[in-house]
Each structure stands twice: as structure tokens, then as C-alpha cells.
Amino acid sequence: MTTTQTSTLPAIDATHDSALQSWVMSANGHPQFPIQNLPLGVFDAGEGARIGTAIGNEVLDLAAALEWGLLPTLDMATEAALHSDTLNAWMALSAAQRSLLRAALSDLLQAQTASGRQASAFARQLLRPQDACRMLLPADVGDYSDFYAGIHHAVNAGRIFRPDNPLLPNYKHVPIAYHGRSSSIRPSGTPLQRPIGQIRRDTPEGPAPELGPTERLDYELELAIWVGAGNPLGTQIPIEQASAHIAGFGLFNDWSARDLQAWEYQPLGPFTGKNFMSSVSPWVVTQEALAPFRGPAMARAEGDPRPLPYLNHEDDQRNGGLRIQLEVLLSTASMREQGLAPHRLSIGDSSHLYWTPAQMLTQQTIGGCNARAGDLLGSGTISAPTPDGYGALLEITEGGKKPVQLANGETRTFLQDGDEIIFRGWCEREGFARIGLGECRGRVQG
């Protein structure tokens, strides 16, 4: 049985028109933030935390736009949300309110509209150069769940940890996740302190732990899924409504200490091997912006079970998948000293997620868990079927057995002090402007 209720996925509309041009000149043809994108974030340009929209190389200060009377069509709840210092109140708005805000911003930033011509006269009061802004965490993250929806990563990692049983039988029936540590989520660019913990050592008497800094520090390439309006405790978000409860997306690095993880993960799963820090990109690319870049959910292999009816919605299977290109780069301290460009470790895309974002959110709430605006879901590590698209060093190096040869002659099995990991994401489709998710960066400190 497949549920067939009406879809809540946003539709393609006039804001996606590839012919739109902005009076912010750097936005026209921008590979990340053209007028067709309009992601939201929280920035500080010396006046404290404020909500802005990325447009080209600039940030549009939304509180300033309201103060100058340039967004008169917004309702009071939306105005109040934009005067906040986090995106939680914006995320709590209805999908219809978020769509109306997007339409108003598109109109305001277009070169040929009356409101655009009016706004351009206030450019100095409205715009802040992105490189002069400190980007903050987009929302106050109350709760964070990390899913395991990248099936190729699940199989590859399973072969390392459980060679005889890499993919457990529940994987194709239920979106698997664990409850992570929201307090240690930090915005892109925050340095990572190498964690310490218990590491297994093999002795003549058998395995025994030793306390020390991780020797197998890794990254995990994931999508951040930002929850919008939540649900009361004891209720569920049905699959046919789940997309309306997702505010937007970003890039997410679920840093992992593989040696700590290997010692502690049974029988209860991740703990200190995961909780020391996770990095998230600062811009929230909205559900509405991604409408042209939707596609079918990942096709299930012949013989795979059908999802239970509560996870099986016809339109989600047809349009609930995402088509986001994802790239991982590594910059070592030596590379930066030599002025060398970062080394690409992998490139793939989000179509390799076995479960859709809507299925993940529905599973999160099926038992009556109350989701809240600003909660964060990690997609799980996204890997392509081939090594050039693997989403973690654990896979690329086969658990440390095959070092990566870098362009400058260095090698890596796992991350060393001074290494910087850079995630990039973007969407392309013929007939539409390319848009990006920006970057998620983090540099390892000793």
C-alpha cells in the first residue's frame, strides 16, 4: 500500500525563473547565491546577531529592510521572526508564510520591479559584504538526531566493523538513527579540538582500554535537515505532511573518532566517538529554493522490501529525493604553506540516500516524539557506489589500510593536526539557475 494524499512539497514558481536579474550585481551568474536561491542565515557585522539573506557576495539585512518599510506585504508573525537573533521563529512559520517571504524577497531584489528599484536606493543601509560578516549558528538547536540513510556508506562501514554481516536486517525497513549531542554543534569555520577517549589496545591478556587522543579522526559528509513547525508530544507527523515541517537544508560534518567509536559503540551505539563536535554550514537553503532540484527517491533494488504504509507516500517516492552535488576537499598545513589548492577527496550527490528527508522526519515522530522548530536531522554519511564518491576516510582508506595519496606527495589514512576539511554543495538542472549550499569548513587542532 502506498499513501496518496496531496503533496506538501513546494512547487516551481516565478521565483525560480532563470531569467531573473538582481540589482545586486554580484548575484547575477553567482555560482552559489543568485537571486533564485535566497537562503537565510544569522550574521554579525559588528551590530550583534541579525537575520540575513545571501545574495551574491552580499548579505541583505532583513531587519533593516523591515525598518525601511521595504517588506510591507509580510504578516506580523513573519516580521517578528525576522527581528530575532536566530532562525527558530522563522522555521516555526507555516510553509505558506515561508513561501510568501521568499516571494517578497525575490521581488525586492529584482532589478526590474518597483520594489527592487526602491530597495536599490537603500543599498548602503541594506547590504553587508559577506567577507565582513561573521556567520553564526543558524538556530538554537534543541535536539539533534543523526540518521544512517546513505546505504553505500552503511554497507562499506558495515564491512569494516562487521565483515560477516555488514547491513543489518532492519536497515531496509526503518530509517535508522541515534540521538546526538546538540550542545556541540558549531557553525562552519569553528576549529576542531582533537578529542581524547578510550582506545582499545590488544594485550596478551586480551583487549584493554588506554586513554589518549584519537588516532583515527575522520569526517562524515552529510546533509543538515532543519526542522520547521513541530508537533505536540504524543502525536505524529504523517509522511504526506512531513515536507511542510522541513524548513531547509545545509551541509553537515559529523566528525568521528573511529577508534573511540569502535571500542564503545556496542551495545548502545555512538557516544564520545561522536559527541565532541559537529559542524554545520551557516546558510539554510529553503525547501522552496530546492523545488527544481527534486527527483525520485532512490530506487530500491529488486527484492528489497517496500516501506510500511506510514513511510510510503506516492509523491514523496516520486519527488521527495534531492539532487545536490556534494564535494569534499582536504587542505593540509603543508599545502597552505606552499600556496596549493585543496585536494579533492570525493565528489558525489545526495541521490544515494536510501530514505527521503520526509521519511526521516516521520520516523522521528512515529512514536509520539515532539519535534521542534530548529531541531536538526543529519542525513547520515552520503557515499556514491564508487570510491571517488565515498563520504568518509573510513571508506576511502578501507579502515586505514590504503592511504590516500595527496597531490603534494603527502598521504593520509585519517586526519592529522592542521588538516582542514571543506564540504561544498550545489544544484544544477538544465533550464534553471545553479544554486549552492555554500561551504562547511573545519580545521583540526592538536
- Which residues are designated catalytic? 153
254 marked ligand binding residue:
yes
Cell match 521568499: residue? Answer: 102
In eight-state DSSP terms, residue 282 is S
146 marked ligand binding residue:
yes
Enumerate the β-bridge partners of residue 422: 329, 441
Go through the chain and tell me how many residues it has: 446
265 marked ligand binding residue:
yes
CA–CA dist 385, 275 (Å, integer) = 28
Set of cell numbers at residue 416? 592529522
CA–CA dist 275, 254 (Å, integer) = 9
Beta-carbon count within 10 A of 218 CB: 26
Q: Where are the beta strands (DSSP E) in 177-314?
A: 177-179, 185-187, 192-193, 196-203, 206-213, 217-218, 221-227, 246-253, 256-257, 278-280, 285-286, 294-295
Cβ atoms of 81 and 89 closer than 8 Å: yes
**C-alpha distance across the termini of the chain, in Å:** 53
261 marked ligand binding residue:
yes
278 marked ligand binding residue:
yes
Kind plus residue range of the DSSP H or E element containing 78: helix 76-82
Dihedral-angle region of residue 38 (phi above 0 means left; psi in -120 to 50 means alpha; beta otherwise): left
Set of cell numbers at residue 134? 561573521
CA–CA dist 65, 43 (Å, integer) = 15
162 marked ligand binding residue:
yes
5 marked ligand binding residue:
no
Cβ atoms of 40 and 123 closer than 8 Å: no
Rounded to 5, what percent of the chain is helix, strand, coil? 25, 30, 45
> Hey, what amino acid is at 296?
P
- What backbone torsions phi and psi does residue 335 show, to the nearest 5 degrees? -60, -45
DSSP characters over 15-77: GG-TT--BSSGGGTT-SS--TTT--EEEEESSS-EEEEEEETTEEEEHHHHHHTT--TTS-HH
7 marked ligand binding residue:
no
**Which amino acids are annotated as binding site, given as ranges?**
146, 148, 162, 220, 222, 254, 261, 265, 274, 278, 381
**Which amino acids are annotated as binding site for Mg(2+), given as ranges?**
254, 274, 278
**Which amino acids are annotated as binding site for substrate, given as ranges?**
148, 162, 261, 265, 381
**Which amino acids are annotated as binding site for Ca(2+), given as ranges?**
146, 220, 222, 254
